[in-house]
Every structure is written in structure tokens, then in C-alpha cells.
Amino acid sequence: MTATSTDAVEKLKSVKHNARDPNPWVALYLDTSVPLNETAKANFLMDVSSRSRQFLFPLIRPFCRLFICLFKVLKTFIPNAITSSWLLHHSIYHSLRIFVSPYANHLILRHFHIGSELLEFVATNTKGVKMELNPLRPNKLWDLVDDVFLKHDLNIYNFIIEINRQLNEQELELQPVDELDFSCITDGEFPIEEMPRGWLNFIDLESAIEIYTPMYQLLLTDSDFWRACNSLQLDETIALYATTLIGDHKFLGLVNNRHPIVPESTLGAGHRLMLHGLAVECLHAYLVKQKRLRGS
């Protein structure tokens, strides 16, 4: 484990309980009703309980959403005139390195590892399917400059298109192989380097997402931006694939981003992205639990 991952756990465990003034974040940390990796949960809770999330986030959100509206008008007239994935990813890297909290940065890198493993689990365990995947495994912030955010969205759509193409051509429904293979699911921590801890690294995850969303809209093509926003509702689709293979749909009650055929407004993309990150973490933790139960 890195210091970033263990630091959050130790801080929450060190909080002394006061029955007259109970700490809400400790209560959520100790609660086990929702499947979630212990260190990921601790990083989430340290991030959302920060002063940045409490005081900065409510101030910047209206301005960020205003810029989304302004850029939407601009993109209506010149949809692809101002685009640079290189500039977008390099600006994200530098701002993460300088301004964003280590808890948020750790969760961001975890997200790509987990997303890659979920797609591999479905592909490996679906009968009649053979797929070549493009796993994303960033171990340090610099790895993100290789268009990782854009590739992440492309991976999801390409995966859904290809797996359903193969099933449709064989006139098959999604069904599991005879024996599920959990070897692609990591039970433990990922090899992620220690995150920067400078005096400016204080911005929480959701504030950072709100700031980046207008930049995403400005520096990606209109098609790329819409695809990225709409991909958030594919949480339900991927969760349905995984739970169908497991044979237990109880997990679907934890999915908040739903009904991809009815797209949501891009104005709420920041909060939906937070829910997406949490849903992916929960689904991965659920598969880890299944892996342990089956002794895989």
C-alpha cells in the first residue's frame, strides 16, 4: 500500500467517538452495508469531508455550469474548431499534480484500473465471446497524458458494441461460462505511486471535476464531449452484464446512473461522475467479495 491509501484509513480510525457529537464520516467508514474497498472508502470520506468540498465547491459550481452553457453556444457555431486532446490531458495532469488532494488523485488512478478489470471480467466470463481489450493501468499521474480519459470512454462504448455484435451474430443471449473466472479481479491494492502532497494540493475530487468539465467541453470535439457525458449512464448496463453472469441482481439497487437511452443534461455531469466513480468501486468490491466466497 502507498502512504496515500493508508493515511486516510489511519486518520479515520484515530477519531475518538463522542456520543454527543458523533463524527458522520466515521459512521460511514464503519458501515459495511455497501460493498466498498476499505482504503477507497477512506479516501472518498477524507475527500468529501475536506474544507474544499465544504466551502469551495458550492462557490465554483455555478460558475462552472455557466461556462458549460457558454461553451455550448460556442460549440453550436464552431463544434470542432477548438479541439486539443493533448492540451486537455496535459492541463489535467499539471492541475492534478499541483492543486488536487492526494486522496482525490489516488481515487482517479484507481478508477482506470477498476474499470479495465470490470470489462475484462465480463468479456472473460461471457459464453461465446472472444474480445481484445485495451486495459488502462496508470500507476502515476504522468501516465494520464496518454489520452487516458478519452480512451476510457472509447473503451466502454467499443466494448458494448463488440460484445453485443458477437452475441447477436451467434444468436446468443448474455450467459456465463460454465465456471466463472475471477483471476482478473484484484483483491488488494493497485501499484499506484505516492501522490503529491504540496501545500497547494487541497482541492477535492468533485470540485476538480466541476472545473474540468467545461475544459472537457471546450477542448474535445462536440461528439467526444457528449459521448463522455452519456457514458456515465452506462453504469447500469455494465452492472447488468456483471450481475447477470453472477446470477444475482441485488447489486443493481446501488446503481444511480441509469437509463442510458434517456440522456441527462450535461450540466449535472460533475455529480454524475462522482456517482459513476462510486458505482464502479462498489461493483468491483462486490466482485472481490464473490471471488473470496468462491475461493477463486
pLDDT number for residue 296: 62
pLDDT number for residue 4: 59
Dihedral sign, Cα of residue 31, residue 34, residue 39, residue 41:
negative
Cβ proximity of 92 and 143 under 8 Å: no
- What's this model's pTM, rounded to 2 decimal places? 0.94
pLDDT number for residue 81: 80
The grid coordinates listed for 128 are 461465446
Measured CA distances, 45 to 11, 40, 60, 119, 122 (Å): 11, 9, 21, 26, 29
pLDDT number for residue 5: 57
**pLDDT tens, N- to C-terminus, the chain (296 residues):** 565 556 889 999 999 999 999 999 999 999 999 999 999 999 999 999 999 999 999 999 999 999 999 998 888 888 878 899 999 999 999 999 999 999 999 999 999 999 999 999 999 999 999 999 999 999 999 999 999 999 999 999 999 999 999 999 999 999 999 999 999 999 999 999 999 999 999 999 999 999 999 999 999 988 889 899 999 999 999 999 999 999 988 888 889 999 999 999 889 999 999 999 999 999 999 999 999 988 76
pLDDT number for residue 156: 96
Distance (Å, whole) CA 108 – CA 112: 7
In this structure, the dihedral spanned by the alpha carbons of residues 103, 87, 113 and 131, taken in order and rounded to 10 degrees, is 160
C-alpha atoms less than 13 angstroms from C-alpha of 109 in its C-beta half-sphere: 29
